[in-house]
Amino acid sequence: MVLENLGRALDNTVRRLRGLPKVDKDAIRATIQDLQRALLAADVKVELVFDVTAKIEKRAMDEKLPPGINRKEHIIRCIHDELSHLLGGQPAPMRIKPNRQNIILMVGIQGSGKTTTVGKLANYYKKKQFRVGVVCSDTWRPGAYDQLKQLAESIEVPIWGDPKEKNAIKLAIKGAKKFVDEKCEIIIVDTAGRHKEEKDLMKEMQEIEQKLLPDETILVLDGSLGQQAYNQAKVFAETTKVGSIIVTKLDGSAKGGGALSAVVATGAPIRFIGEGEKVDALEAFDPTSFVGNLLGIPDIKGLLEKIKEAQIEPEEDVAKRFMKGNFTLDDLYKQMKAMRKMGPLKSWLTKLGGQNLPDEMKDVAEQQLDKWKVVLDSMTQYEKDNPMIIKKSRIARVARGSGQSYTEIKNLLKQYDQMKKMVKGMVRGMRGGRKGKGKGGMPGIPGMPGFPGMGPGGMKLPPGVKGLKKKFR
Ligand SMILES: Nc1nc2c(ncn2[C@@H]2O[C@H](COP(=O)(O)OP(=O)(O)O)[C@@H](O)[C@H]2O)c(=O)[nH]1
Ligand SMILES: [Mg+2]
């Protein structure tokens, strides 16, 4: 397991917290101390430990609980947030572009796990259906070529090298060129990373980089270095154009937490982690799920989602405008999105009285919600607030800006118009037909305004809505 000790300690912290009869100041304090011990034992730098735990403590004590979320869940969320942030927050985006040639240069000192990681990366991309080739430019280690050859053959990836050639730069360029000619999409160049002096190694890396012009330089760092990884990451980042980092040996190391947080502190993104010697022991690094696993909550995304939803507060103004049928394009988009979250939009539209809408229009609403977003982004605020002014030339402009056809924009506007009429009609019908019969609203639809007269369970259409059918045809 990756970061086994840290994972066990964090898992215990969370368990202890969950088992407490009540969460008071002392309980929070004890949780914070648990966390500090766990992080220090994983070699995370003292200052970082105190900084991160102080933030967790403050949030745990001070922040208001979102509705439906208990104090324990809130604290776990704070721990997760801050630890993920410590490890970089968002996952680093993939830089590999399909349908073109990507040259990756692997750098790092000898023994950090470069050659092993070349094999792992080649395997990873091959499984994603890329054409991959690997190049050996290690002129130092006896048997370097054979090591990579064995690895490459085991995953059936072509390798190029020349054990007799002693010029690493020549090797790198020749190999990359060969695979470019063979139309490989991903070409991974392994290097030696060995010199008597760090200065010489850096000079060689710089020279290879300048001549090879890789699309990405990846630094491979040994996770068992702990917080010492900071210095290595920094030296490489200063001399080469390190685009991302792979931290290896996180399976066996007690200091991996220190290495990961130290690397993040240099500002370089961690894209993968190595967690074993085998060719498939490589994992794309996503701080959210990584920390979730460490905390013993593999489904952390579920908890975060629940909290996020609880925090969405209904926008009263929107609801009021919607009720009057005076909604803007933005309002409609938001409402439809909120409805879609609860299930297929089509069935909601039907329940909301939309059985009077032609089926194809409901389908359109369902499918085109994402299109709405793009189209709305191409409109000015004034246009969104006053859609009736969007006529020919504006439609043409919005169509160009959003990459949609003129007709599509027109259809979307028509749909908005029809929705507006429908809601107005419904409200008018309800006012006339069921005056004063409760203002229950629609239960369970976040962001959806309550329609007076429709009490809980009262999904029936009020009189007055019938007969609208004709208008929409
Ligand atoms: N446990 C473990 N060992 C690894 C990992 N990555 C590499 N190694 C081992 O580290 C040693 C050095 O690896 P190598 O790829 O030759 O490093 P290089 O000198 O940078 O090319 C080898 O014994 C590898 O099996 C890893 O993620 N976990
Ligand atoms: Mg090597």
Q: Is the pLDDT of residue 348 over 60?
A: no
DSSP classification of residue 156: T
Give the pLDDT confidence score for residue 465 in this predicted structure.
Answer: 36
Q: Is the pLDDT of residue 365 over 70?
A: no
Mutate which of 116, 134, 260 for ligand 1? The one with the most ligand atoms within 8 Å of its CB, which is 116
Q: Which CA distances in Å does 440 have to 165, 319, 347, 425?
A: 82, 14, 20, 19
> 320-336 pLDDT, tens per residue?
666 666 778 887 777 67
Give the pLDDT confidence score for residue 107 in this predicted structure.
Answer: 94
Give the ranges where 165-286 is alpha helix by DSSP (H): 168-181, 198-212, 229-239, 256-265
- The strand order across the sheet containing 132-136 reads 159-160, 132-136, 186-190, 102-107, 216-222, 242-248, 270-274, 282-284
The contacts of residue 219 (CB under 8 Å, 6+ apart) are 107, 108, 233, 236, 237, 240, 242, 244, 245, 246, 268
Give the pLDDT confidence score for residue 444 in this predicted structure.
Answer: 30
- Please give the structure tokens belonging to residue 177: 């060129």
Superfamily per CATH, domain 4-86: SRP54, nucleotide-binding domain (1.20.120.140)
Give the ranges where 21-139 is alpha helix by DSSP (H): 25-41, 46-62, 71-86, 114-127
Mutate which of 277, 280, 282 for ligand 1? The one with the most ligand atoms within 8 Å of its CB, which is 277
Query: What is the rounded average pLDDT of the residues 31-38?
Result: 95
- Which ligand has its closest atom nearest to the C-alpha of 112? 1
Is CATH 3.40.630.10 the classification given to domain 102-285?
no
Question: How many Cα neighbours within 13 Å face the side chain of 73?
Answer: 17
Q: Which atom of ligand 1 is nearest to the CA of 276?
A: 28
Return residues with CB closer than 5 A to ligand 2 (ion): 114-115
How far is the C-alpha of 137 from the C-alpha of 144, rounded, in Å?
A: 9
Give the pLDDT confidence score for residue 438 in this predicted structure.
Answer: 36
117 contacts 282 by C-beta, under 8 angstroms: yes
Q: Which atom of ligand 1 is nearest to the CA of 220?
A: 20
215 contacts 188 by C-beta, under 8 angstroms: no
The CATH code belonging to domain 315-472 is 1.10.260.30
* CA angle in degrees (0–180, nearest 5) for 52-53-56: 95
Give the pLDDT confidence score for residue 368 in this predicted structure.
Answer: 66
Q: Do domains 4-86 and 315-472 have the same CATH topology?
A: no
- Structural domain boundaries in the chain: 4-86, 102-285, 315-472
> 272-310 pLDDT, tens per residue?
999 999 999 999 999 998 999 899 888 888 778 877 776
Among 133-137, 249-253, 307-311, 421-425, top mean pLDDT goes to: 133-137
